[in-house]
Amino acid sequence: MSQDQTAAPKPAPHRHAVEVVPDAGSLATRTAEWLIEQIAHAVQRRGRAVIALSGGSTPKAVFACLAGHPWRERIDWATLHLVWGDERFVAEDDAARNARMTREALLDHVDVPASHVYPIPADPGGDADGALDRAHVAAELYATTLHALNGGATLHDDKPLFDVVMLGLGEDGHTASLFPGTAALDERHAWVVPVQTDNVTAPVRITLTYPVLESTHAMLFLVGGKSKHAIAGRVLGGDESLPAARIRPLGGMLWIMDQDAATG
């Protein structure tokens, strides 16, 4: 390696702000408020808000909040462009799909233009052995979608792809579908990759990779419930054996946690 390509010094643990709210209800309302603030900043900055949504169950209450009064009236939904940080590679109508959860909780109730919603491709179906190959095709397709959303440009630190990246935290320290021990953790070139966890009963996943998720003005970890207390403590303590502890957004990082997750 030439002199200027020697390994860069390890980045310092990322600074993050942490907000603790009393319960699941306030976790949803506080997050809805924060998202409205971020959308306003984004629209002022560049006329639109490009948001990568998290999946799983925690965001559902946030989306339901945004779909209702008074939050719904406070957002110009036509300014939003929505992608997902990860997805379960299952059939379109499978209840496990993050896009289905988001549609039922939010998109069916607000007017985001259909052309501004970019779901990760679903599994078109076929034999189980071929799922990973089909997921590779879907991941490459989605990477093309993200490239187009980014105006065909490569990722540049001075022009983040996202205005907001929403993330959750799994009890094993995964975030998006960046699971411990998977090759996705070391992927620094592809924007989107399939992930086969060691749980063979679980569906193949598709995830955005670290460089893409990190290309954001603002990152939110949304964490609730007693079951997340221990792992949240390890991630916030900088335990870099955990995927969630390794993410370094270009912009600020905020954790919004309920009391159960914060104090157990």
Residues that bind ligand 6PG (CB under 6 A): 54-58, 86, 98, 168-170, 174-176
Q: For the CB of residue 238, give the shortest distance to ligand 6PG in the complex, in Å.
A: 20
Smaller CB separation from ligand 6PG, 43 or 64: 64
Smaller CB separation from ligand 6PG, 49 or 206: 206
Smaller CB separation from ligand 6PG, 100 or 174: 174
Q: For the CB of residue 234, give the shortest distance to ligand 6PG in the complex, in Å.
A: 15
Q: For the CB of residue 96, give the shortest distance to ligand 6PG in the complex, in Å.
A: 8
Smaller CB separation from ligand 6PG, 40 or 64: 64
Smaller CB separation from ligand 6PG, 175 or 215: 175
Cβ-closest residue to ligand 6PG? 168
Smaller CB separation from ligand 6PG, 175 or 182: 175
Q: For the CB of residue 230, give the shortest distance to ligand 6PG in the complex, in Å.
A: 14
Instruction: Determine if the peptide bond prior to 70 is cis (ω within 30°).
Output: yes
User: Which residue carries 């187009």 as its tokens?
Assistant: 148
Q: At what angle do helices 24-46 and 59-66 cross, to 10 degrees?
A: 60
Helices vs. strands in the chain: H and E counts, helices first: 7, 10
Q: For the CB of residue 213, give the shortest distance to ligand 6PG in the complex, in Å.
A: 11
Which tokens belong to 259?
């009391």
B/e letters for 28-66, b = 16+ CB within 10 Å, e = fewer, are: bebbbebbeebbeebbeeeebbbbbbbbbebbbbbbbbb
**Which amino acid, one-letter code, is at 232?**
A
User: H/E element holding 143?
Assistant: helix 131-149
Q: For the CB of residue 158, give the shortest distance to ligand 6PG in the complex, in Å.
A: 28
Q: Bridge partners of 51?
A: 82, 164
Q: For the CB of residue 29, give the shortest distance to ligand 6PG in the complex, in Å.
A: 17
Q: Which of 107, 108, 90, 88 minimizes the C-alpha distance to 98?
A: 88
| Separation CA 119–CA 142 (nearest Å) | 8
User: 210 exposed, middle or buried (CB, 10 Å; 0-12, 13-18, 19+)?
Assistant: buried
Smaller CB separation from ligand 6PG, 132 or 202: 202
